[in-house]
Amino acid sequence: MVKVGIVGGTGYTGVELLRLLASHEQASVAVITSRAETGRRVDDLFPNLRGLYDLSYTTPDREQLATCDIVFFATPHNVAMHMVPDMLSAGCRVIDLSADYRLRDARLWSSWYGESHASDELLTEAVYGLPELNREQIADARLVACPGCYPTSIILGFMPLLASGLVDPQHLIASSASGVSGAGRIAKVDNLLSEVSDSFKPYGVSGHRHLPEIEQGLSDVAGTPVVVTFVPHLLPMVRGIHSTLFARFGSSSPAQNLQALYEHFFEEAPFVDVLPPGTLPQTRAVRGANRCQLAIAVPQGRDTVVVMAAIDNLVKGASGQAIQVMNIMLGLDESVGLGQVGLLP
């Protein structure tokens, strides 16, 4: 049985890790930490986990965490980068759900996060944890940076087009909308029910921290620098991301069957579902499941292709993907513990 530690187990990604790992046949959570909730039982804070865990939160202790085979960091940025070097030195393998190791360029990271990186020597070692992009590198990694939720939907949506060289990489547009859980489990006026209900609004239009991650990932796919205009929006719901992606064909509209292109590209990806023509993705169809649903269209047969992607931001966009990564790192079938079906209605 693989021994798992979770640093930061009181946020939405932390409790989602606990929910999903409860049904994992080959992993057991041995340590879960929280400075604010030290001594409190996990099932006291999250009653949905009653009967599944006999654990209490502890203060993060490097020696205790070092007894684990895998350590997840389900923390805000600026936490993992101070602790990960010690975990790696102790022989642990680390999966970081925060933004601390997603960008390879330390100066770029600092420009977006407003501080110096505490362990920038690890940025080039960290493997970007999108299985559909880096499965082989993940298998041998000591440190994996789990992708952000918006980047997951956007990179998966654009991947086949860029990998095939069919679209102009300098003029990509992503219009994405997320449920409020994407902002984390924090008290903030903008996230109150009375503020988000019956409303739909953009934010971060002038620059969102996921943008450099999106462009870095897509540039890796394209083999050339990629430029993305990214506009995120807030939806009046708890879970889910829907991204509508726009790209112009490089020359004339290709004769290639885009539906067949996508189906072939993802045929070995168990958690990417390319929908049949005429069927469009919905966030409710993937809620609670580690799945990305994709659809492709060329409206009016013109020069612009539209890709639509839907994921659960807390599952395929965070904790489910992190467990998928763990399975690959351990040489397990990547689907172990991730058989949950989307919740309908």
Q: What is the DSSP string of 191-257?
A: GSHHHHTT--EE--TT--THHHHHHHHHHHHHTS---EEEEEEE-SSSS-EEEEEEEEESSSPPSS-
How far is residue 162's CA from residue 225's CA, in Å, rounded to a whole number? 11
Phi/psi of residue 235, nearest 5 degrees:
-100, 150
How far is residue 48's CA from residue 20's CA, in Å, rounded to a whole number? 12
165: left (phi over 0), alpha (psi -120 to 50) or beta: left
How far is residue 18's CA from residue 35's CA, in Å, rounded to a whole number? 18
* Residues contacting 48, CB < 8 A, separation 6+: 19
Token pair, residue 263, equals 């189906």
271: left (phi over 0), alpha (psi -120 to 50) or beta: alpha
Three-state DSSP at 299 gives: helix
Q: Is the peptide bond before 345 cis (omega within 30 degrees of 0)?
A: yes
Q: Which residue has the tokens 């934010």?
A: 203
Positions marked catalytic: 149
How far is residue 199's CA from residue 220's CA, in Å, rounded to a whole number? 36
Q: Identify the bridge partners of residue 95 per DSSP, sorted by sequence position.
A: 72, 144
